[in-house]
Structure 1
Amino acid sequence: MRKLLTAAMAITLALPASAGPISFANGWQEQRLSLFSSNDYTFGQNLSMTSNGSVSIAWTRVNRADWSKRGASWSWTVEKSVPPTNLSQKGGDDRNISLYFVFVPEDVAPGLEGANIRSLLGNDQVRIMQYAWGGNHSRGQVIQSPYGPAGQGVTIALRQAGTGSHSESVDLAADYARAFGGQPGALVGLAVSGDSDDTDSMIRAAIGNLALR
Structure 2
Amino acid sequence: MRLLLSAVFATCAAVSASAGEVSFNNGWQEQRLSLFSSNDYTFGENLGLVSEGSVSIAWSRVDREDWATSGASWNWTVAQSVPATDLGRKGGDDRNISLYFVFVPESIAPDLEGANIRSLLGNDDVRIIQYAWGGNHARGEVIPSPYGPQGQGVTIALRQAGTGSFSESVDLEADYARAFGGEKGALVGLAVSGDSDDTDSVIRAALGNLILR
For the residues of structure 2 that align with 1:160 and 1:180, how far apart are their CA atoms? 23
Match of 1:5 in 2: 5
SS at match of 1:179: helix
1:130 is aligned to 130
Q: Which runs of 4+ in 1 moved over 4 A?
A: none
Structure 2 CA distance, aligned partners of 1:171 and 1:40? 30
Summarize deviations over 1:79-126 as a string: whole Å, max 9, x none. 000000000000000000000000000000000000000000000000
Partner of 2:209: 209
Matches within 5 A, 1:1-213: 1-11=1-11, 14-17=13-16, 19-20=18-19, 21-213=21-213
> Matches of 2:189 and 2:170 in 1, distance apart?
16
1:133 shift after superposition: 0.2
Question: How many residue pairs get matched?
Answer: 212
Q: Which amino acid aligns with 1:179?
A: A
Query: What is the root-mean-square deviation in Å for CA atoms of aligned residues?
Result: 1.0
C-alpha offsets along residues 176-213 of structure 1, whole Å, 9 cap, x if unaligned?
00000011000000000000000000000000000000
Cα deviation, 1:11-64, whole Å, max 9, x if unaligned, reads 46x233264421101000000000000000000010000000000000000000
Alpha-carbon distance in 2 for matches of 1:105, 1:11: 37
Give the whole-Å Cα distance in 2 for the aligned partners of 1:181 and 1:90: 24
Q: Does the CA contact (< 8 Å) of 1:19 and 1:212 recur in 2?
A: no
Q: Which runs of 5+ in 1 are unaligned?
A: none
Paired residue secondary structure (2:96) = strand
After superposition, the C-alpha distances for 1:117-160 in whole angstroms (9 at most, x for unaligned) are 00000000000000000001000000000000000000000000
The alignment's TM-score, normalised by the length of structure 2, stands at 0.97
Counterparts of 2:69 and 2:54, CA distance in 1? 32
SS at match of 2:123: coil
Structure 2: unaligned runs, 5 residues or longer: none
Task: Output the CA distance in 1 between the equivalents of 2:17 and 2:48.
Answer: 23
Q: How far apart in 2 are the matches of 1:56 and 1:134? A: 16
Report the TM-score, using the length of structure 1 for normalisation: 0.97
